[in-house]
Amino acid sequence: MHHLFLQEIGFDALGAVFPANPGAVYQSSDILSTLFHSINLNIPSIEALKLVNPSDLGICMGMNQSPEKETIRAHLTSMAEHYLSSELIDQFARVLLNRNFIDPEVFFIDGHFLPYYGLNVIAKGYFTVRRLAMRGNELYAITDLQGRPLFFITESNEIDFRPIISRSASKLIEYGIDRPILVFDRGGYGVHFFKELDKTAEFVTWAKYVGEKSLAGIPDSAFTVGMRFTDHKYLIAEQTRTVKESVQTAKREGRLEPTSIELRMVVLENVETGKRIAIYTNINNKDKPLSDIAYYMLNRWGDSENIFKEMMARFNLNYHPGYDVKELENQPLVDNPDITLIKKAIRILHKEIKELEKEILLTEAKQKQRPDKRRLLKIANCKTSIAEKKTDIIGFEDKLSELPEKVSIMDLLKGKPMSRCDLEKKKLYDLMQFIAYNSRERLVELFRDCYDDHRDVKPVLDMITSRAGYIKMFGETLIVVLDWIENKKHRKAAIQFCRLLNQKGIRMAGRLKLKLAFFVSKYPLHGSSAMHNLT
């Protein structure tokens, strides 16, 4: 069923950006297709593909047999060396916008910390779930009002949030969206940043450094608009406020004069609690109604953050495909780099001892000519330093006798920074996860016309799309018959959904290009309650 989305976005064209491999059994598009379908089938990693029958997975992909995990790793490494993930992400985003799969009204930017459990040493970031700093990267998703992701940016933790927002605004403009509206949390707050961003985009964010007394001083008569969001009622007021950065902030960032900007401050008051909170947006964004500004900001607590929860629940978002421990274990032993470092340290210590001995001789000669207590102290300090360095040399020589001349490459990699190629593999894998997420959202959109209980739309759809069944080739059509569904309401919805899909004229992405037809079995399964009632 996910072939509908692949057909609509032109999935085969995504893999076409990679150079062709003449004579190779599998091309780059086959590797991407394998990752996409394995993700939809809840296969959590490339390593887990060893548990899958290649012929069965190959049918899903429209080929005789899917590639093995070793083949995928080899191709993925080769693909990563071309550094085309950004081009693929941009291409996918443009397709989503052109096909109206994304609402361009407003965009939310939020980050997700990706813990790194590999062998390499990379920058640390704060993992809010575990409440500690650990190695990893940050994945920023740019989503629409319904929480559907348009594109994502993966960066190291030392990159600040504000440059990511600026990059996102530039990308949206490249995609053809003039002055996009960006919604982000307090991590993007910055007066000078606001002034720079105001040149190209609108923004909505929580206000900082606005005291409770200042908000309490706004008269009740100023709250002229009301709105309901989820289970809460709000009153909304508006003020114009000039915000100025501190002198210290300006100097720290290399500016002689503090930056100031006039902003539109939207104030929300919770009707039940009376608590007030402020939102900042551009002064030029005055055409937007107060309720829209409030809705955008409040919605950041909803769908825009839920995308990471859903992707964590459905997929393996924290999985990193950049290394294969077993593959590294099979590598030959290499020269121990610690031996070279220790020998170099011993040479430096010997050189420093000679310098100190020369210093002592010169100081003693001066002391004979003209006695001075300070020179005696200097000589004593030099002798103490020489003794400490000789002790260090003995310790290093003892360590040399214990170290092996050769070590495993596993140990050698522990001191190296994470390579760009490893991060590129992660981006390619995550792109397939985001495509899989959007594919499911596309099926959800269609299934809403077949099932009237909005609370269970996604669970029931997941039951249908993961249903076991049978396939049958009939001419150039692959007929898919889903097993009998016990629940009558669910069965009716599934039958209607299959009819709707059949009207779309879906063809498999991949080599076979077969037409797909979906049906639900008319006969209960053996042993089911329905079969028992018939007998």
Residue 174 has pLDDT above 90, yes or no: yes
Residue 131 has pLDDT above 80, yes or no: no
Cα torsion 352, 353, 354, 356 to 10°: value is: 90
CB within 8 Å of 118: residues ≥ 6 apart: 320, 322, 323, 418, 422
Distance CA 34, CA 11 (A): 12
Least confident of 15-24, 117-126, 259-268, 368-377: 117-126
Average the pLDDT over 58-79 and give the result. 89
Looking at residue 433, what is its pLDDT? Answer: 95
How large is the greatest C-alpha to C-alpha distance in the chain, in angstroms? Answer: 121
CB within 8 Å of 84: residues ≥ 6 apart: 17, 18
Least confident of 83-92, 139-148, 407-416: 407-416
Report the DSSP beta bridge partners of residue 128: none
Looking at residue 305, what is its pLDDT? Answer: 60
Looking at residue 175, what is its pLDDT? Answer: 96
Kindly list the distances between the CA atom of residue 415 and the CA atoms of 65, 70, 323, 337, 510, in Å, as whole numbers in the listed order.
39, 26, 15, 10, 42
Which residue, chain included where needed, has tokens 């608590």? Answer: 275
What band does 290 get if pLDDT is binned at 50, 70 and 90? very high
Looking at residue 60, what is its pLDDT? Answer: 84
467: exposed, middle or buried (Cβ count in 10 Å: 0-12, 13-18, 19+): middle
Which has the higher per-residue pLDDT, 116 or 504? 504
Distance of alpha carbon 475 from its chain centroid, rounded? 43
Distance CA 315, CA 321 (A): 14
Q: Which of 217, 201, 119 lies closest to 167, judged by CA? A: 201
Residue 322 has pLDDT above 90, yes or no: no
**Stretch (H or E) spanning 522:** none
Average the pLDDT over 149-173 and give the result. 91
Residue 36 has pLDDT above 90, yes or no: yes
Looking at residue 407, what is its pLDDT? Answer: 64
What band does 302 get if pLDDT is binned at 50, 70 and 90? low
Residue 55 has pLDDT above 80, yes or no: yes
Q: What is the pLDDT of residues 144-160, one digit of tens each?
A: 998 899 999 988 777 78
Looking at residue 132, what is its pLDDT? Answer: 47
Whether the Cβ atoms of residue 88 and residue 428 lie closer than 8 Å to each other: yes
Q: What is the pLDDT of residues 245-262, one digit of tens each?
A: 999 999 988 899 999 999
Looking at residue 121, what is its pLDDT? Answer: 44
Average the pLDDT over 88-97 and give the result. 96
DSSP 8-state symbol, 524: P
Residue at 264: amino acid letter: R
Residue 23 has pLDDT above 90, yes or no: no
Residue 501 has pLDDT above 90, yes or no: yes
Least confident of 151-155, 214-218, 258-262, 338-342: 338-342
Looking at residue 196, what is its pLDDT? Answer: 95
Looking at residue 323, what is its pLDDT? Answer: 57
What band does 301 get if pLDDT is binned at 50, 70 and 90? low
Least confident of 47-61, 125-139, 298-312, 393-407: 125-139
What's the mean pLDDT when you consider all of the chain?
86
Q: What is the pLDDT of residues 387-407, one digit of tens each?
A: 999 999 998 888 888 877 766
**pTM (2 d.p.):** 0.77
Residue 241 has pLDDT above 90, yes or no: yes
In order, the DSSP letters of 194-240 are HHHHTTT-EEEEE--S--HHHHHTS-GGG--EEEEETTEEEEEEEEE
Looking at residue 244, what is its pLDDT? Answer: 94
What band does 129 get if pLDDT is binned at 50, 70 and 90? very low
Residue 326 has pLDDT above 80, yes or no: no
Looking at residue 286, what is its pLDDT? Answer: 78
